[in-house]
Amino acid sequence: MKQRKWDPKAKARIVLEGIKGRTVADICNEYQICVSQYYQWRDQLLSNLDKVFDAPQKASRETRLESEIQKLRALVGELTLELKKTDELFL
């Protein structure tokens, strides 16, 4: 069979069809993939399934940190302006 590159969303969609009950042979014929390829994708999906629930926590933490970084940058900017003003007064 022809070698192609499959994006992660397509792989997940194909594997989910099998998990929902469709026969593996039908899926492989439709998408022109080997049965062994389907089972590799399925095993990969199932081995990483627990990580699905980790993503929102990391995203919210990253969002919170980015917000804090923006606040600190704004504060540094304000302090820099104040420092320049005081330098101008003494010159």
The residue ranges of every structural domain in the chain are 1-53, 56-91
pLDDT, tens only, 36-52: 999 999 999 999 988 87
Q: Which residue has the higher pLDDT, 57 or 84?
A: 84
Please tell me whether the overall predicted TM-score, pTM, comes out greater than 0.75 for this model.
no
Report the top-level CATH class of 1-53: mainly alpha
Predicted local distance difference test score (pLDDT) of residue 55: 63
Neighbours of 11 (CB within 10 A): 19
Q: How many CA atoms lie within 13 A of 61 on its CB side?
A: 5
